[in-house]
Structure 1
Amino acid sequence: MNATEIYQTKRRLLTFLEKLTQGLSKPRKKFYSDMVYGMSKAQNTVLSDIARALEEKIDLKYTIKRLSRHGAEEKDLKQVHQNYLNTLKTSIPDNPLVIVDESDIVKPYAEKMEDLALVRDGSKNVLEKGYSTLNFSMATPSTKHPLPLYHHLYSSKEEGFQSQNIEIAKGFNAVHAFLGKKKATFVMDRGYDRNTIYEYVEDIGHHFITRLKDNRHLIHKNQRMKVPELAKRRKGKINFKTEIQGEKYSLKVSHIKVKLPVLKEVSLNMVVVYGYGATPMKLLTNHSIKGKDDVLRILKSYITRWRIEELFRVQKEEFQLEKTRTMTLSSLRILYTVMNSLIGHYSLAIEKNTSHTQVVLARARPSNTLKKIKFYLYRFIRGVSNILRFDTAGIKHFHRIEQRSNQLSLL
């Protein structure tokens, strides 16, 4: 492995770490530096593997104990997340797409982990022990890779938990505060087809695109009608070919002006999409539609929502999130926050597409098919890990050491 590639990869991580740990004490800076470097090299969130990746010349158990001790302290996590958001500010375009979705961390065999609750395992569609996660991620403008903006891991059994709707409202509030005067489009699946969410997004002044449930009623020409019945009135005049999760589709799209019973003063549009499944897909939006381009823009925005499914796969497959073994929610939240911050850092690197980005992608696997790949995050994570695998010095030599000056000051 080229020593220059190792140095450049570590230097970029260090630059990111300086921003991520700004304002923290020296011990906490070192802790987060160890976590980011170790997670990048080990390519997982298992504490023993992170400790092993640090290449410290002491007994491994002492490194694990140190990381465990620091991992139990959650008090500076909000500062770390705010520092991470500060690294994104210059990368946020006007009218960003913010994808909203929930996932889970399933721990079926865990017994002593703190506040384990029942969650629905999305892969098996069964209830298992674990934790819920709420994710708001922006799609990067060019490559459409996920930039996590708000990520919260929680348990319905933990002290202070009130309801899922309140947790979702906290996410909207956090993203709204971060965006400032910029107006976003929140893209959501059927689980967010709720009156409270529509009212809330309207109240804070943003747009939404949501996939509708079939039991939803809408108002069209002063008539209250069920969504499937209303969709039958539009057969799809606009042809559109696309690829969704690797499969190609020939879609037919139309739209119809509607209103919600709870938002009778707000003009809305329902976009009807034929060709994706046995029944048409129905999308509700508060974006105005003046022609074909607007209809397709809304459909393309919703298709981008599938990128957050890729984010969840990255979390669970590339970083092996569900193999994490920690006893406290604080430790798990720190690991989850560090992992998402790292994913955001990598997504920005892919978006900028520097020469170093190409080097990392090439190191993931010897191949000449980069042009055929549309989602590079898996490959970038593996490329960084493969480069750092040849590093035997660890991150400790990169820690900035401040020394007191022994020079006498002249008065």
Structure 2
Amino acid sequence: MNSMEIYQTKRHLNTFIDKLTKGLSKPRQKFFRDLVYGISKANSVILSDIGRSLEEECDIQYIIKRLSRQLTKGADSSILHQNYLNSIKKAIPDNALILVDQSDIIKPYAEKMEALSPVFDGSTKKIEKGYHTINFSTATIQTKHPIPLYSHVCSSKEEQFQSLNVEEIKGFQMIHEVMGEKPCTFVMDRGYDSNVMYEAIDKLDRQFVTRLKDNRYLIHKNKRVKVPTLANKRKGKINFCTEIKGKTYHLKVSHVKVKLPILKETPLNMIVVYGYGQKPMKLLTNHEIKGKHDVLRILKAYITRWRIEELFRVQKQEFHLEAMRTMSLMSLRTLYRIVNYVIGYYSLLIEKNTGLTQIILARSQSSNPLSKIKFYLYRMIRGVRAILSSDKKGINHFHFVKRRTSQLTLW
């Protein structure tokens, strides 16, 4: 591997780490530098893999103990997260789409990990041991790559845990504070089609797009109507062609003015989409609709939501998230945040499309040409790993360490 490519990759990564750890103590800066570099090089959250990737001369067991000890300290997590938000705030677009969804970390064979709780595993459709994750992300303007904004791991076995709804609302409130006066739209799947979520978003005076469940009742012309009944009366007057998850769909779209029984004073619109599945897809939004352009804008916003599912896939496939073996919940939360910060860093690098971006993408050794790829995150992650795998010095030589000088006073 070209030594200049290794140097440029490490220098750019080190600049990101410096921004991320600004204001932290020297030991904590070194710890997060090791963690970010190790995860980037090893593509793993297993401490032994991270430790070996640091290329330190000391015993690997000592490195693992050092990392494990530092992981349990979470007092500076708020500073770290604020630094991360400061580093990505320029990439958050005006009228941003905030992609919201839950995921999970399944640990079916774990016995001693802290606060293991029953979790529904979406892949096996069974209840397993593990943790819930709550995720709020946005997408880059040009390439539509996910930028995590809020990532939290929680467990129903925690002493302070009240409910998943409460934890979700904390996320909505945090994003509301981050966005300030900037407008944004929360884009959500059917799991968020609940009165509690609608009331919480309404109190924040934010806009939303949600996919509706079929058991939902809406008010149309002062009558309670079930969602499928109302949707079947709209056959789709607007034609729209789009690509979703690599497959092309020819859709027909309609909309109708409705209200929610719990928000009778709030005007809403239901958008009905034919052509995606056997049943029409139904979306609910508080956006005002004046014509075809507004309808398609809302539909495109929901299609963008699938980027957060790609984020979950990247977490688990590329960084082997569910292989985590830390015993404490605080350690798990720290690792989860750092993985998402690294993904955000990669998404920004893809969006900027610099010479370094092209070098990294070219080193991923993918069989597909770049011209045929629309989602570059997998290739970016593997390209960084390929470059750093030839690095035998580690990351800490980039960091200037101020050494104490002996002082001799002559009287």
Q: In 2, are the aligned partners of 1:183 and 1:205 still within 8 Å (CA)?
A: no
Q: Residue 364 of structure 1 aligns to a residue in which SS?
A: coil
Q: CA deviation at 1:400?
A: 2.0
Q: Which residue of 2 aligns with 1:356?
A: 356
Q: In 2, are the aligned partners of 1:36 and 1:342 still within 8 Å (CA)?
A: yes
Q: In 2, are the aligned partners of 1:107 and 1:129 still within 8 Å (CA)?
A: yes
One-letter amino acid of the counterpart of residue 14, structure 2:
L
C-alpha separation in 2, matches of 1:263 and 1:251: 30
Q: Which residue of 2 aligns with 1:5?
A: 5
Q: Residue 62 of structure 1 aligns to a residue in which SS?
A: helix
Q: How does 1:32-181 map to 2 (within 5 A)?
A: 32-181=32-181
C-alpha separation in 1, matches of 2:235 and 2:177: 40
One-letter amino acid of the counterpart of residue 167, structure 1:
E
> 1:306 aligned to 2:306?
yes
RMSD: 1.3
The range that moved more, 196-205 or 224-233, is 196-205
C-alpha separation in 2, matches of 1:272 and 1:367: 39
Q: Residue 144 of structure 2 aligns to a residue in which SS?
A: coil
One-letter amino acid of the counterpart of residue 308, structure 2:
I
Q: CA deviation at 1:81?
A: 1.1
Q: Residue 349 of structure 2 aligns to a residue in which SS?
A: helix
Q: In 2, are the aligned partners of 1:241 and 1:250 still within 8 Å (CA)?
A: yes
Q: Which residue of 2 aligns with 1:252?
A: 252
Q: How does 1:255-404 map to 2 (within 5 A)?
A: 255-365=255-365, 367=367, 369-404=369-404
One-letter amino acid of the counterpart of residue 243, structure 2:
E
Q: CA deviation at 1:403?
A: 3.2
| Shift >2 Å, 4+ stretches | 403-409
Q: CA deviation at 1:398?
A: 1.3
One-letter amino acid of the counterpart of residue 78, structure 2:
K
> 1:19 aligned to 2:12?
no
One-letter amino acid of the counterpart of residue 203, structure 1:
K
C-alpha separation in 1, matches of 2:275 and 2:111: 45
- TM-score scaled by structure 2? 0.97
C-alpha separation in 1, matches of 2:90 and 2:366: 34
- TM-score scaled by structure 1? 0.97
C-alpha separation in 2, matches of 1:207 and 1:354: 34
Deviations 1:21-60 (A, max 9, x none): 1111100000000000000000111110000000001111
Q: Which residue of 1 aligns with 2:201?
A: 201
Q: CA deviation at 1:232?
A: 1.3
Q: CA deviation at 1:233?
A: 1.4
Q: Which residue of 1 aligns with 2:213?
A: 213
C-alpha separation in 1, matches of 2:176 and 2:402: 39
Give the aligned length. 409
Name structure 2 gaps, 5 residues minimum.
none
One-letter amino acid of the counterpart of residue 159, structure 2:
E
Q: CA deviation at 1:367?
A: 4.9
Q: CA deviation at 1:325?
A: 0.5
Q: In 1, are the aligned partners of 2:366 and 2:379 still within 8 Å (CA)?
A: no
Name structure 1 gaps, 5 residues minimum.
none
Q: Residue 363 of structure 2 aligns to a residue in which SS?
A: helix
Q: In 2, are the aligned partners of 1:210 and 1:285 still within 8 Å (CA)?
A: yes
One-letter amino acid of the counterpart of residue 295, structure 1:
V
Q: In 1, are the aligned partners of 2:145 and 2:307 still within 8 Å (CA)?
A: yes
Q: CA deviation at 1:88?
A: 1.2
